[in-house]
Amino acid sequence: MAYSSPSAIAVRHSDPQFARRAFSNHHAMYTMKIPSFNLQCISSNNLTRTASMDRFIDKITLTSRRSMLGVFLAITNFGLANSKANGEGPSEQNPKLCDEACEKELENVSMVTTESGLQYKDIKVGSGPSPPVGFQVAANYVAMIPNGQIFDSSLVKGQPYIFRVGSGQVIKGLDEGILSMKIGGKRRIYIPGPLAFPRGLSSAPGRPRVAPNSPVIFDVSLEYIPGLEYED
């Protein structure tokens, strides 16, 4: 490579006949393109962009990429956590008491409305006796909010829920809805807010929030009544 004097700055115009020299105290070499000029600062030290500068720039670029990746992962994890907390997003298929065929049949079943505002449709009418107030009952249930999201289920737990019906051990709407069922029966109960959860239920991973005094839906299957003799 050809060098000019140690402190010279050569300015070349696009016209090869034009040349002008000036002097400066610059000691490094830089290249800057401007319209119609190619400005080159030449130094005897030949300090062009060296390999060490390349490594420095590459290091900055890599650090920036890592930082951006960290921010992206943090936002993604927050979104997933928030979705789970609200019961949103993909979830495992939960067992149900009423499948797709059952849902279609329910469309043709008449709705029964009680004086309290409770409503229900019988998926299957049982053949056994109805439970007396205060008796224990064993029932399977799937509890949902109005959009169909499940917030509780005995099927997931793997065993029927046993409680004393009509004794206030469950929400009022469930007590009322089961008292008129028969053993072996299956029913969808539409429970209005005042007969549901006065304080609501907080959300949890895989479980949606139930707002205070909001309506809920229970699919219930009355399995048996302990202590009550019944022959099918």
Q: What is the pLDDT along the chain (232 residues), one digit of tens a residue?
A: 444 444 444 444 444 443 444 334 444 444 444 444 444 444 444 444 555 555 655 665 555 666 665 644 555 454 544 544 454 443 457 899 999 999 999 999 999 999 999 999 999 999 989 999 999 999 999 999 999 999 999 999 999 999 999 999 999 999 999 999 999 999 999 999 999 999 999 999 889 999 999 999 999 999 999 988 666 5
Query: Which domains are delineated in the chain?
Result: 118-224 (3.10.50.40)
Q: Report the predicted TM-score, pTM, of the whole model to 2 decimal places.
A: 0.61
CB distance 161 to 226 below 8 Å: no
**Ramachandran category for residue 128: left, alpha or beta (phi over 0 → left; psi -120 to 50 → alpha):** beta
CA 67 from centre of chain: 25
- The 3 state secondary structure assigned to 48-65 is CCCHHHHHHHHHHHHHHH
CB distance 208 to 86 below 8 Å: yes
Please classify residue 216 by burial: count the beta carbons closer than 10 Å to its beta carbon, then call 0-12 exposed, 13-18 middle and 19+ buried. buried
